Amino acid sequence: MLENREYQQSLNEDVNPAIVREVGYGEAVIYSALVNEFKDQTAYFGFLEDGWFHCQETELAAQTEMTERYLRKKVRKLQRLGFIEKRKLYGENLNYYRLAV
């Protein structure tokens, strides 16, 4: 039980309170996970072309501990509000995201 509390606390520290107030907690958690993924890929690959980076939906769902269906719904909301852009190339199992800065 304590481990779960510690994990939730660390997850809460990464989430920006201003974004939580703006869009909601679930969306803020997803946005935070996408920002972390962007930072990781930028650090590993260097500059990313036009700011696009890839992330599998299953990995993002595992990171945020959300179901894929719930995740897709929240990603659509983030797209609608202009926080992120998303595209999927035909035949690939990856989603490409770009953060609106």
Q: Please report, as a single letter, which amino acid is at residue 41.
A: Q
Question: Hey, what CATH class is 2-99 in?
Answer: mainly alpha
pLDDT tens, residue by residue, 29-88: 999 999 999 988 888 877 667 888 888 888 899 989 999 999 999 999 999 999 999 988
Q: Which tokens hold the place of 21?
A: 């107030």
By the 10 Å C-beta count (0-12 exposed, 13-18 middle, 19+ buried), 60 is classed as buried
Predicted local confidence at residue 41, as pLDDT = 86
The better pLDDT of the pair 27, 1 is held by 27
Residue 12 pLDDT > 60, yes or no? no
